Amino acid sequence: MIQNLLINAFDILVAGLLVVFLFLILLTVLTYGLVFLFPDRSNSSSPAANTQTTPASVSNKTPSLDATQQAAIAAAVHRYRGQHKP
């Protein structure tokens, strides 16, 4: 009697795990399919060009900081590096 209950419980456990595993595989495949069908349009340049960006080109895209803000950031970075030396 107890052995049959344990076998049934194990069968239900395996069935549940398989359902979850198959659902996750299906979700992953659908996600990759949607990315393939609808690529990101906000990125106008190629991925290879993005890896070679320099800090100067990145700073041109961000809003400019005034001299006071730049000095405060430089002082904070200098202080942090002074306190956290390897």
User: Consecutive 10-residue runs of the chain (86 residues): their mean pLDDT?
Assistant: 95 98 98 91 58 56 82 95 86
Q: Which of 42, 45, 26 is nearest to 34 (CA)?
A: 26
pTM assigned to the model: 0.44
Kindly list the domain boundaries of the chain, sorted by start residue.
1-40
> Which pair of tokens denotes residue 50?
């993005």
